[in-house]
Structure 1
Amino acid sequence: MALVGVGKAQGVDGLTVANTRPTADARLAVGSGGLSGRPVYSGMLEMVRDVRSEVGDEMTINACGGVFTGGDALAAMLAGATTVQTYTGFVYRGPTAAREINKELLAAMSREAAGAAA
């Protein structure tokens, strides 16, 4: 949260929360690398919640890490993200991933609204 505090103090408009997590592994040729994709998703959601709690509505939060579906995107938004990005999702879902995630997100938002109205 120290970096979030610095961002607030400096008037930063937004933060990307999570992305790739550094990892050390002897099996890697250089001994270290980055963990990304689905393994970082739950931690990303927790960090988004924590950052949103810290900054209130003052900053845009871009959730990044393990978002593969519209349901994943909605969960990130409900955790406090303003925007959501994906990269690994394109690797596994192909070039139409953004269109499909958007369709899934709209469907998930409709279900969420219907559940809230019930």
Structure 2
Amino acid sequence: MEDADFVNVVGMWWNNRRQIMFNHDYGFRHMFPDTEMVLEKVKVRELGTEVAVVHARWSMTGQITPTGERSGPRRGVISFTAVRQSDGRWLAVSAQNTDIVPGKQTNVAADGRLTPESYETPGQGQ
């Protein structure tokens, strides 16, 4: 299937298999060549017999910064919508990847930048 969508952690939206493969290939060669990613939790919700939504919380170490140094660890959640093919295999048709920013609820835009923020006072809520 050539028709697919992938939204990465900064909102880049790739709309077909060629774009998805090109950008992941670039990332794995330049940003993540020695990265270790661990799935911490996976949840699958089948929406009938032919469609499923998958959420996975991940952690990652070993990313390379633009200056060639190792960055700190990251965590996130990726979600996939998958459809069952006629041969029984599952094919992802849409995915979204999101970084987890501990203790923050949203991003606030100001002066051309996004800053993770929380509206709760410490110790309140969750």
TM range (shorter): under 0.3
Higher relative contact order (CA 8 A, sep 6+): 1
Structure with greater helix share of residues: 1
Structure with greater strand share of residues: 2
With structure 1 as the length reference, what TM-score do the two structures score?
0.24
